[in-house]
Amino acid sequence: MKLDTYRISSHGSLETLTVATQTADPRSTEFRAVEGGAETMSGEALLVWAYALVWIILFAFVLVSWRRQARIDARVAELERAVSRGHGK
Amino acid sequence: MSSSRKTSDLVFYLVFLATVVTFVIDINQIFFHTPIEASMGIVQKIFYFHVPSAYGMYIGAGACFLGSAAYLMSPTDARDAFAKAGAETAVAFGIIVLVTGPLWAAKAWGRYWTWDPRLTTSMLSVLIYVAYVVLRSFAGDGHAEKKFAAALGVVGAANLPIIHYSVKKWSGQHPVVIGSGGGGLAKEMYPALFLSLAAFTLLAIVMLWTRTRVEIARARLRQLEEEALVAIPEGTT
């Protein structure tokens, strides 16, 4: 990106003045590994992510178990009633 | 509801309550009473959940091994349920280990993952228990499938000591802080670690208990469905 602006020169003519010149990097054509690497993430963010994901995984486990148990209990109760009715006939 | 079931429920709720209370105290200890580590900073606090999660994975895998071995010796629904619950618990804790470890590594090593022996063997173990759970989910509930899964549960446990000894036998980047060769923790860090180990042990018990009950209920459901097919004329349910 090239940004231009204009000013009046000391002798009265209009001059073009380039204030900033920004050009996009060329498209990456390769990814190169680096040993160690510069730090790009804060420890605080990583810590929050770690603890949040732990709780999400645990709650998902509990939720799935709870729902499965409730579905099975309901089906068992229904079947027990049906079986006892069937035996009564 | 029978009195033994009521007692069992009461014990379960007490264990559940103890788990919640221990976690609350533990989190308070980790964030308000445990110092920040000198070189890694605050990200080191992931350690207090990462290590106990690995321990929880061992508990689940151990339960899977015991349930599977017992099932192979003398098959019962309860033994099969315990083995399956163990595998599912191992998967849940294993995923936590594989999520929290790389988040710590991103800061400590500058990359999320390396093919370090402990990381690789840990991932392999999680994949074994994922395979077990997938097998149980899709292969049906016949005796042959259960026996095959039980064999996997027994053989899969062989990787657990390899995880433990991998850092000693092979070189790698994974830290060894506790145990032989490790420099140990600062004494102010031990309460948080012990509380976390207690909290995750209780949590593993709760998860094993819950999942075993679900699986026993499922086995009872299958039995009732078979009875219903015999006892009830078609179309009355």
Tens of pLDDT, residue by residue over B30-85, are 988 888 888 788 888 899 999 999 999 999 999 999 999 999 999 999 999 999 99
Pairs across A and B, CB distance < 8 A:
100
The residue among B46, B55, B202 with the most chain A CBs within 10 A of its CB, best to mutate, is: B46
Cβ B224–A53 below 8 Å, yes or no?
no
Domain presence at residue A7 = no
The boundaries of the domain holding residue A59 are 42-89
In A, minimum Cα distance to B229 occurs at A83
Domain presence at residue A46 = yes
Residues 6+ apart with CB under 8 A from B227: A83
Q: Please, which residues bridge with residue A62 across strands?
A: none
Q: What is the ipTM of this complex?
A: 0.73
Residue count of chain A, please give it. Answer: 89
What pLDDT is attached to residue B236?
Answer: 54
Question: Do residues B104 and B50 make contact, with C-beta atoms less than 8 angstroms apart?
Answer: yes
Q: Where are the domains of chain B?
A: 42-171+182-222
Measured in degrees and rounded to the nearest 5, phi and psi for residue B182 equal -95, 150
Nearest CA-CA distance, residue A24 and chain B, Å: 27
pLDDT tens track for A52-66 = 888 889 888 888 887
Facing A54 at nearest CB: one of B100, B107, B231: B100
Query: Using CB atoms within 10 A of its CB, is residue B109 exposed (0-12), middle (13-18) or buried (19+)?
Result: middle
Has residue A24 got a pLDDT over 50? no
Q: How far apart (Å, rounded) are the C-alpha atoms in residues A55 and A61? A: 10
User: Domains in chain A: how many in total?
Assistant: 1
Domain presence at residue A1 = no
A43-88 helix and B77-108 helix, angle to the nearest 10 degrees: 170
Question: Do residues B90 and B68 make contact, with C-beta atoms less than 8 angstroms apart?
Answer: no
Token pair in block for residue A47: 């810590």
Nearest CA-CA distance, residue A38 and chain B, Å: 7
Give the pLDDT of chain B (237 residues) as one tens digit per residue.
677 778 888 898 999 999 999 999 999 999 888 888 887 888 888 999 999 999 999 999 999 999 999 999 999 999 999 999 999 999 999 999 999 999 888 888 888 888 888 888 999 999 999 999 999 988 877 888 999 999 999 998 988 888 878 777 777 777 776 665 656 778 888 899 999 999 999 999 999 999 998 888 888 888 888 877 776 665 554
Query: pTM, whole model, 2 decimals?
Result: 0.79
